[in-house]
């Protein structure tokens, strides 16, 4: 029970820091504009936030996956990887829809020159790809196991 709670905490940490580094993409144009006025300190700070968040997010996901494998949940390990799975639960369905919208938006904005909306599309794309992989993945499925019933609890995502 404690190990599943640890997996949940690690996944929540990963989700928080994925959101932080995704949001930092939105601030890139502002940091770029301010860098000429403030001697590039804003770009350095934003870069540090971005890379620290990336390292923390993926380290947390790696540790959660390692804990899942240690628990030996073979029932969930036979499923496909999260990147190849779609619509596996309610939250994943919402994120998969956002992923589709963000891909379309990103492709459309590729043909618009000098468009700052591209940063919004990139934010949506990065965030939704990462959350798609997490929410459709094996480790998330294990974290949703109801220990009293011994099965996944997808209705209460």
pLDDT tens, position by position, 85-96: 777 889 999 999
Strands 151-152 and 145-146: antiparallel
Structure tokens at 51: 């890379």
Burial of 47 (0-12, 13-18, 19+ CB in 10 A): middle
CB 65 within 8 A of CB 26: no
Please check the confidence at residue 151 and state whether its pLDDT lies above 70: no
What confidence tier does 156 reach under pLDDT thresholds 50, 70, 90? very low
pLDDT of residue 109: 92
Please check the confidence at residue 147 and state whether its pLDDT lies above 60: no
User: Could you read off the pLDDT of 53-83 as tens digits, one per residue?
Assistant: 999 999 999 999 999 888 886 555 556 666 6
CB 17 within 8 A of CB 68: no
CB 13 within 8 A of CB 56: yes
């Amino acid at each position: 029970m404690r190990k599943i709670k640890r997996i949940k905490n690690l996944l929540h940490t990963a989700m928080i820091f994925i959101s932080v580094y995704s949001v930092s993409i939105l601030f890139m144009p502002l940091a770029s504009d301010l860098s000429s006025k403030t001697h590039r300190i804003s770009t350095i700070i934003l870069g540090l936030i971005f890379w620290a968040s990336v390292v923390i997010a993926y380290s947390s996901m790696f540790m959660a996956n390692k804990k899942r494998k240690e628990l030996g949940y073979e029932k969930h390990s036979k499923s496909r990887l999260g990147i190849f799975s779609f619509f596996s639960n309610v939250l994943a369905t919402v994120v998969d829809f956002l992923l589709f919208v963000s891909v379309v938006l990103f492709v459309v904005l590729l043909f618009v020159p000098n468009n700052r909306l591209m940063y919004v599309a990139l934010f949506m794309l990065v965030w939704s790809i990462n959350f798609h992989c997490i929410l459709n993945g094996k480790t998330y499925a294990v974290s949703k196991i109801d220990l009293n019933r011994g099965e996944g609890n997808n209705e209460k995502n």
